[in-house]
């Protein structure tokens, strides 16, 4: 009985190993095949750059796939129709899929691994350098995309090692929304809010008047870093040295607001959406939020205004740029680039960009289109100024190092805000972690 059961078990284990072994064999062959196509496509793309213009005709006809992070737009939306129209102009059928923005990076990496990436990919700007580093994206030199009209500070987010990997479709950034009724009840004149001390003084008055001061998002994800960066950069700090005196001052500013009750404790767990919901209650004087909330602000039912986020000693702090880049992923068939290039050029052309940026509630990436936007809607002025002052998270040639710095940074902000450590020691730990990660 016992012996039999042992024999049985050995047989079972043997079967399991055989199964695993077979799977291993399969995958080994498939992964080496992937490697082949990978190298094949990279060499193909460099040699194909000369051939692409001549084979443009070969790209005519057929179906071109476009992936974007705008699942909110269905087939009948203006965005979707624009894609179809651009496809028709280029003589091809466009097949569009909208993904949730957080899914898009993984989906793209997997598709690239399987040798099946989309022809045109619209992707969040801090991801561009990661995908470029992974060899998933073509640079604009290869595909002959024209980026000359794009504001350099916006284009910087898509540049790595001297090459540009896409065209921004538009940009958004952060600024301070304020509630006019709350401020006037507290006796605050918004024109006096010019730097950190005057902002803190305004918050103090608001609190004394029985209202709530400011809300933002300090959640433990990229969103938290995105919201903290204007204060971090506004203090004069640099992402390469997190624990500088300026960096400590920025974290201390937020920590003090929480301690004094100028900002609610819930900011530690707030996303930008929940933070906006707090502001929409009408109880808050200020909210740090983005361009994309403009439509909601109009629905909020109270009078609001917008000021750029102030730097420590006055002036506008650089806020991080948000918004997507239109990119062309690396293909095995390099003759497809010519048509993809036409599609991208169509999407980012002045008229189309104006329509798209209006639908997305973005600021355009080129000066010419920005002027048109301003003419149509003078309220956009503070946003256009904020975008002009904005800075890409991956610029300063940080590229793929940025994510490794961002995570320790948001952790430090959370540590300090939740009171587990002082701003000084939280940032010191963060700097240690970041330095070890980018080594």
Least distance in angstroms from the C-beta of 371 to another protein = 33
Identify the burial level of 29 via C-beta atoms within 10 angstroms of its C-beta, where 0-12 means exposed, 13-18 middle and 19 or more buried: exposed
Please spell the DSSP secondary structure of 195-220, one letter per residue: SHHHHHHHHHHHHHTTSEEEE----S
Q: Given the structure tokens 């094949």, which residue do they identify?
A: 40
Q: For residues 308 and 231, what is the distance between their CA atoms, to the nearest angstrom?
A: 12
Read off the tokens for 363: 């600021």
**Residues in contact with 433: Cβ distance below 8 Å, sequence separation at least 6, in sequence order:** 407, 408, 411
CB of 134 to another protein, least distance (A): 4
Shortest approach of another protein to residue 126 CB, angstroms? Answer: 5
Closer by beta carbon to another protein, 232 or else 383: 232
Nearer Cβ to another protein (40/315) = 40
- Beta carbon of residue 2, minimum distance to another protein (angstroms, whole number): 11
Compute the least distance from the CB of residue 397 to another protein, in Å: 16
Secondary structure letter of residue 280 according to DSSP:
H
- By beta-carbon proximity to another protein, the closer residue of 80 and 415 is 415
Instruction: Count CB neighbours of 271 within 10 A.
Output: 14
User: CA-to-CA distance for 347 and 385, rounded, in angstroms?
Assistant: 24
- Residue 232: which H helix or E strand, with range? helix 222-234
Residues contacting 391, CB < 8 A, separation 6+: 153, 156, 233, 318, 319, 320, 321
Minimum distance, C-beta of residue 15 to another protein, in the bound complex (Å): 6
Burial label, 1 (beta-carbon count in 10 A; 0-12, 13-18, 19+): exposed
Beta 304-307 vs 93-98: how paired, if at all?
Answer: unpaired
| Nearest residue (CB) to another protein, 8 versus 367 | 8
The distance of closest approach from Cβ of residue 312 to another protein in the complex, given in angstroms and rounded to an integer, is 25
Is the CB of 108 or the CB of 373 nearer to another protein? 108
| Smallest gap from residue 219 Cβ to another protein (A) | 6
| Cβ at position 37, least distance to another protein in Å | 9
Report residue 64 as tokens.
């071109």
Q: Are 111 and 117 in contact (CB under 8 A)?
A: yes
Q: Which is nearer to another protein, 27 or 63 (CB)?
A: 27
Nearer to another protein among residue 5 and residue 50 (C-beta): 5
* Contact in structure between 225 and 406 (CB atoms under 8 Å): yes
C-alpha span between 325 and 123 (Å, rounded): 5
Question: b/e string for 313-351 if b means 16 or more Cβ within 10 A?
Answer: eeebbbbbbbbbbbbbbbbeebbbbbbbbbbbbbbbeee
Q: Which is closer to another protein, CB of 153 or CB of 275? A: 275
Comparison of 333 and 367: residue with beta carbon closer to another protein: 333
Query: Which residues bind to another protein, rule: CB under 8 A?
Result: 7-9, 11-12, 15-16, 19-20, 22-24, 26-27, 31-32, 34-35, 38-39, 102, 105-106, 109, 112-113, 126-127, 130-131, 133-136, 219-222, 264-266, 268-269, 278, 400, 402-404, 406-407, 411-412, 414-415, 417-420, 426, 433
CB of 265 to another protein, least distance (A): 4
d(CA 229, CA 411): 13
Residue placing its CB nearer to another protein in the complex, 193 or 218:
218
β-strand partners of 391? 320
């Amino acid at each position: 009985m016992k012996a039999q059961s042992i024999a049985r078990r050995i047989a079972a284990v043997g079967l399991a190993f055989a199964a695993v072994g077979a799977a291993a064999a399969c995958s080994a062959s498939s992964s080496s095949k992937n490697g082949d196509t990978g190298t094949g496509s990279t060499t193909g793309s460099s040699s194909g750059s000369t051939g692409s213009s001549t084979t443009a005709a070969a790209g005519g006809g057929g179906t071109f796939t476009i992936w974007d992070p705008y699942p909110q737009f269905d087939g009948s939306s203006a965005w979707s129709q624009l894609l179809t129209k651009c496809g028709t102009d280029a003589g091809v059928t466009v097949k569009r899929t909208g993904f949730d923005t957080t899914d898009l990076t993984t989906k793209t990496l997997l598709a690239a691994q399987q040798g099946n990436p989309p022809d045109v990919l619209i992707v969040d700007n801090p991801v561009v350098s990661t995908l470029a580093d992974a060899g998933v994206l073509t640079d604009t030199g290869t595909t002959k995309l024209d980026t000359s009209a794009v504001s350099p500070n916006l284009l910087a987010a898509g540049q790595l090692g001297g090459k540009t990997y896409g065209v921004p479709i538009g940009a958004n950034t952060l600024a301070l929304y304020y509630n006019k009724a709350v401020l006037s009840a507290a006796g605050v004149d918004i024109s006096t809010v010019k730097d950190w001390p005057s902002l803190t003084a305004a918050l103090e008055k608001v609190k004394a008047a029985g209202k709530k001061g400011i809300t933002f998002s300090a959640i433990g994800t990229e969103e938290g870093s995105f919201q903290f960066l204007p204060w971090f950069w506004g203090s004069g700090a640099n992402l390469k040295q997190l624990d500088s005196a300026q960096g400590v001052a920025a974290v201390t500013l937020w920590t003090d607001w929480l301690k004094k009750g100028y900002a609610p404790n819930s900011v530690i767990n707030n996303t930008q959406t929940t933070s906006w919901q707090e502001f929409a209650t009408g109880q808050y004087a200020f909210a740090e939020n983005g361009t994309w909330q403009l439509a909601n602000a109009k629905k909020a039912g109270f009078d609001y205004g917008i000021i750029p986020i102030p730097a420590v000693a006055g002036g506008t702090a650089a806020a991080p740029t948000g918004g997507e880049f239109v990119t062309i992923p690396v293909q095995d068939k390099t003759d497809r680039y010519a048509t993809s290039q036409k599609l991208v050029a169509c999407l980012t052309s002045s008229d189309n960009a104006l329509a798209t940026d209006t639908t997305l509630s973005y600021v355009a990436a080129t000066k010419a289109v920005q002027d048109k936007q301003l003419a149509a809607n003078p309220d956009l002025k503070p946003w256009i100024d904020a975008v002009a002052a904005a800075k890409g998270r991956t610029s300063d040639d940080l590229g793929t190092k940025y994510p490794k710095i961002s995570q320790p940074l948001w952790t430090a902000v959370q540590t300090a805000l939740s009171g587990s450590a002082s701003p000084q020691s939280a940032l010191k730990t963060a700097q240690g972690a970041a330095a070890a990660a980018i080594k």
